[in-house]
Amino acid sequence: MAHPEMELLDDHKASLRSAMNPFIRVLKKLAKNINNKVINKMMQQLFVETQALFTETLPQSIIQELQLVPKTLHYSIFIRANQELLAKAQFRLKFEELFLYNYN
């Protein structure tokens, strides 16, 4: 779990005494209609609409030396990838996260 949401025990106990969050019923209704096909279609649309916004964050020398997949290709790889390209894209994302974590 990369970014868990934590709640203090006292806050949790206090929230149990108050009204339930109203969006729970809406989420349950949405969950019935959202399947993998719908999520995949939404992700495809998101990538199409944002592909021009991807900017390279790694130095070109590292990308070339490690033969990393360019960030601008990620949208097409995740939409219609073979296993090899998908693995390269995933490696690129993991490498970049560790690289930026160590140099920030």
Q: Are 72 and 50 in contact (CB under 8 A)?
A: no
- Residue 67 to residue 70: CA distance in whole angstroms: 9
The enclosing H or E element of 79 equals helix 74-79
**DSSP state, 101?**
H
54-87 pLDDT, tens digit each: 788 899 999 999 999 888 776 666 666 678 888 8
Average pLDDT, the chain: 75
- The reply to whether 50 falls in a domain is yes
- Residue 55 to residue 20: CA distance in whole angstroms: 41
Q: Are 47 and 78 in contact (CB under 8 A)?
A: yes
Domain that holds residue 89: 35-103
**Total domain count for the chain?**
1
Count other C-beta atoms under 10 Å from residue 31's C-beta. Answer: 9
